[in-house]
Amino acid sequence: MTIASRGKSPAAKALIKRIDDRTARVGVIGLGYVGLPLSMVMAEAGFKVTGFDIAETKVKLLNSGRSDIDDISDEMVSKAVKSGHFTATTDPKLLHQMDTISICVPTPLSKTKDPDVSYIMSAMDWVIANVKKGALVVLESTTYPGTTDELILPMFEQKKMKAGEDFFLAFSPERVDPGNARFKTENTPRVVGGVTPDCTVVAQKFYEQSVANVHPVSSTRAAEMVKLLENTFRSVNIGLVNEVALMCDRLKLDVWEIIDAAATKPFGFMPFYPGPGLGGHCIPIDPHYLSWKLKSLNYYARFIELAGDINSTMPEYVVSRITRMMNDRYARSIKGMKILVLGIAYKKDIKDVRESPSLDVIKLLEDAGAKVAYNDPHVPSFRWRDGIAKSVKLTAATLKASDLVVILTNHTKYDCQFIVDNSKAIFDTRNATKNVTKGRRKIELL
């Protein structure tokens, strides 16, 4: 789709000029895994950025030049703060000074797997009370198709503000992949869709200041659907390969060998890999936003629901495999066993434990009577049940004292040969030990 490169309304032209000459003030609500990287790339592009967050501790940390996000270094934050291009605040009244406002807040699911848009609505309460005329407001939080048009736009209309003239409203889905060394905020293409053509043009111009490739779509609904397709694609394919792992277990085949062999085909196949379950804020959650929306239209999203069922039961499958392994190989019950879990983060080389399947596996092991300790070089501690769990040192003595080692996250820092050399038995859910040459008899793969 092609969209005119310049806005038609006087307000659009004025805002585009301020964006072009870097006099536009940029506001970002929510300074987590999405908002802080966006703030940094906009600061590096020459804008004065104000980050808004409800957490005073986070605001103080950022203003001191330190980061709490994996992909953003202390040096990057310190540079932006010292240059005057970034400051953090808890004061929503400062939104009145902003020419652009990006909303980057969480969108979790309720216990019944219904969308929880309360964070978006709280952010919008701030915006509506303080937004100035002619500003651009962009929602980046993942949500169901129709959120921008049905929830956000009416709040402006109640203030007698007309989209495309008095303000500009768009949706641009975040595409953050924590721990990805290759693709960052600045080199990951952007999708934008506005409620009017001028809204799209202004949003496109804004993101072009920090991202080379910005792809406009016809509407905010289209942009919202793009993000859900991306993560539903991953969820369904991971669900498929997890089910293939279950099949291979019944057929007494090595699922990792099967995938590697299939991946030699240069067309028509894309390798996905099984694991102990899905984690993070996107893949386990986003498809359910689409499924929920479609239920309101009397449509049952079968692929989404089936993939969700398979992926959500993987922790139980892991524990059942561990139970079988210990019974068959060592004639032991896991009750009373000392089990060392390697990896709490939901994916390798990050510290994020949101929705981590490792937590589910640990809970199930403890409920079965096992004594569980964990090591994670990126997660020194985390809140667990009624207290704080702390990572143990990964030493030869720690490994030898454990009856079983369970690899749940394949961090690069793990020396798998060292782990195998000093362990009695290993259950590897990530094929992290694939290059280990000695002691393979100790290992059982998912």
Tell me what pLDDT residue 1 has. 44
Could you tell me where the beta strands, DSSP code E, fall in 199-337?
A: 214-216
Tell me what pLDDT residue 70 has. 85
Token pair in block for residue 428: 């590897």
**Global confidence as pTM:** 0.90
Which H/E stretch holds residue 26? Answer: strand 25-29
Task: Name the one residue in this structure whose structure tokens are 């902003």.
Answer: 98
Catalytic (active site) residue 104? no
Tell me what pLDDT residue 4 has. 45
Tell me what pLDDT residue 259 has. 97
The number of angstroms, rounded, from the C-alpha of 67 to the middle of its chain's C-alpha atoms is 17
CA separation for the pair 138, 133 (Å, rounded)? 15
Tell me what pLDDT residue 412 has. 95
Residue ranges for the chain with pLDDT beneath 70: 1-7
Tell me what pLDDT residue 6 has. 61
Beta bridge partners, 389, equal 382
Question: For the chain, which domains are there?
Answer: 10-218 (3.40.50.720), 243-445 (3.40.50.720)
CB distance 21 to 93 below 8 Å? no
Token pair in block for residue 411: 């961090």
DSSP 348: T
Select which of 104, 199, 282, 416 is catalytic.
282
Sign, Cα dihedral of 72, 78, 83, 84 = positive
